[in-house]
């Protein structure tokens, strides 16, 4: 009898879409699978800002526990939600080809306020990274907390008196929910690994590793690794005002990263270019360079604040 590979996922529309994509890709390799969905702590508590919930693995720890308990064979995550240090006994099995890494602004009425850096507006996001970058650019704006799955957050925007809210482009585009009244924030650097989907499995499950290797995209995996190395070397938390982007062009990796103070008033930035064959430690090297050029003071403030 053929073994059916069990795929663990959160039960939000986006998470199920991602897991279904994995299921379809596995089917192309003639591998039969089934979805096992469950709620995570991050889906149940929709009020507390993300950076106040014991942030590490808030969207992954429920699935981690179930995976280690053999309730399914692999789990599918938005890679930006996965702690840089995976749970003991769990390993990265594959990274799918990356979608858009960009953030978008979904606005209420018009975007004229974006052209005036001294304007007053109310923008919603639960991301401390987006908040810090936004306040750096628009110091007079007010940031409101916005939690919930994609559908809930989009509904809140229409029901609120906010000027707009920030979303990951990949999240709304994957489930065909990107509104017409949205624009890409080309100036905003993304969260490390934003737009990438990660598959994990148990460390000792060689069969699952072998199957997932069929789906791995080496370029996306390398870029995500570099970005996550940068994050881990600076602070380690996945809910910090740290951004990173690695892109491959003409056999070179182009890297940009930054760290902001929570209020957006201080920042340190770094840019590096290297050949792909020399890029293994690019994220770590970039983080060390950033720490030595003003980033250390900002990182210490964030750490001391307990974020």
Residues 68 and 204 in one domain: yes
Residues 68 and 150 in one domain: no
CB 147 within 8 A of CB 12: no
Q: What are phi and psi of 184, to 5 degrees?
A: -75, 140
Please tell me the predicted confidence (pLDDT) of residue 40.
59
Q: Assess if residue 242 is contained within a domain.
A: yes
Find the mean pLDDT for residues 288-292: 96
Find the mean pLDDT for residues 282-293: 97
Residues 127 and 94 in one domain: no
Q: In a 3-state reduction of DSSP, which class is residue 106? A: strand
Residues 84 and 107 in one domain: no
Spatial distance between the Cα atoms of 147 and 241, rounded to a whole number of angstroms: 17
Question: In what helix (H) or strand (E) does residue 206 lie, and over which residues does it extend?
Answer: helix 206-213
CB 125 within 8 A of CB 143: yes
Residues 265 and 204 in one domain: no
Residues 142 and 205 in one domain: no
Q: Provide the whole-model pTM.
A: 0.90
Residues 15 and 139 in one domain: no
Q: Which two tokens stand for residue 107?
A: 């606005």
Of 250, 270, 245, 248, give the one whose Cα is nearest residue 258.
Answer: 270
Domain count, the chain: 3
For the domain that residue 135 is a member of, what is the CATH number?
Answer: 3.40.190.10
Find the mean pLDDT for residues 53-62: 59
Of 133, 175, 132, give the one whose Cα is nearest residue 153.
Answer: 175
What region, left, alpha or beta, does residue 212 occupy, with left being phi > 0 and alpha being psi -120 to 50 degrees? Answer: alpha
Please tell me the predicted confidence (pLDDT) of residue 46.
41
Q: Assess if residue 189 is contained within a domain.
A: no
CB 51 within 8 A of CB 307: yes
> Which residues constitute the domain of residue 295?
231-304
From 81, 103, 205, 229, active-site residue: 81
Residues 92 and 10 in one domain: yes
Residues 88 and 146 in one domain: no
**Could you read off the pLDDT of 87-134 as tens digits, one per residue?**
889 999 999 999 999 999 999 988 999 998 888 999 999 899 999 999
Residues 148 and 63 in one domain: no
Taking all residues of the chain, what is their mean pLDDT, rounded to a whole number?
90
Q: How confident is the model at residue 203 (pLDDT cuts 50, 70, 90)?
A: very high
Active site residue 81: yes
Q: Which one is predicted more confidently, 61 or 249?
A: 249
Q: Assess if residue 209 is contained within a domain.
A: yes
User: Which of 40-49, 136-145, 236-245 shows the highest mean pLDDT?
Assistant: 136-145
What is the distance between the terminal CA atoms of the chain, rounded to a whole angstrom? Answer: 50
Residues 110 and 167 in one domain: yes
């Amino acid at each position: 009898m053929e073994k059916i590979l069990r795929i663990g996922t959160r039960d939000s529309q986006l998470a199920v879409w991602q897991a279904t994509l994995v299921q379809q890709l596995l089917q192309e390799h003639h591998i039969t699978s089934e979805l096992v969905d469950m709620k995570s702590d991050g889906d149940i508590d929709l009020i507390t800002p993300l950076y106040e919930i014991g942030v590490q693995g808030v969207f992954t720890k429920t699935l981690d526990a179930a995976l280690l308990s053999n309730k399914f064979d692999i789990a599918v995550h938005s890679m930006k939600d996965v702690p840089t240090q995976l749970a003991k006994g769990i390993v990265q099995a594959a990274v799918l080809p990356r979608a858009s890494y960009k953030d978008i602004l979904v606005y209420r009425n018009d975007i004229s306020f974006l052209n005036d850096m001294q304007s007053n507006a109310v923008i919603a996001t639960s991301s401390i990274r987006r908040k810090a970058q936004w306040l750096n650019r628009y110091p007079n704006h007010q940031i409101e907390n916005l939690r919930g799955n994609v559908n809930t957050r989009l509904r809140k925007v229409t029901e609120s008196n906010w000027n707009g809210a920030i979303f990951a482009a990949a999240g709304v585009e994957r489930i065909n929910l990107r509104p017409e009244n949205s624009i890409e924030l080309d100036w905003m650097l993304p969260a490390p690994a934003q737009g990438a989907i990660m598959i994990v499995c148990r460390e000792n499950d060689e069969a699952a590793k072998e199957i997932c290797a069929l789906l791995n995209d080496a370029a996306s995996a390398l870029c995500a690794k570099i970005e996550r190395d940068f994050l881990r070397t600076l602070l380690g938390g996945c809910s910090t005002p740290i951004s990173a982007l690695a892109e491959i062009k003409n056999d070179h990796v182009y890297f940009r990263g930054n760290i902001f103070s929570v209020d957006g008033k201080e920042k340190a930035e770094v840019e590096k270019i290297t050949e792909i064959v020399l890029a293994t430690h690019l994220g770590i090297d970039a983080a060390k360079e950033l720490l030595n050029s003003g980033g250390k003071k900002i990182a210490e403030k964030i750490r001391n604040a307990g974020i």
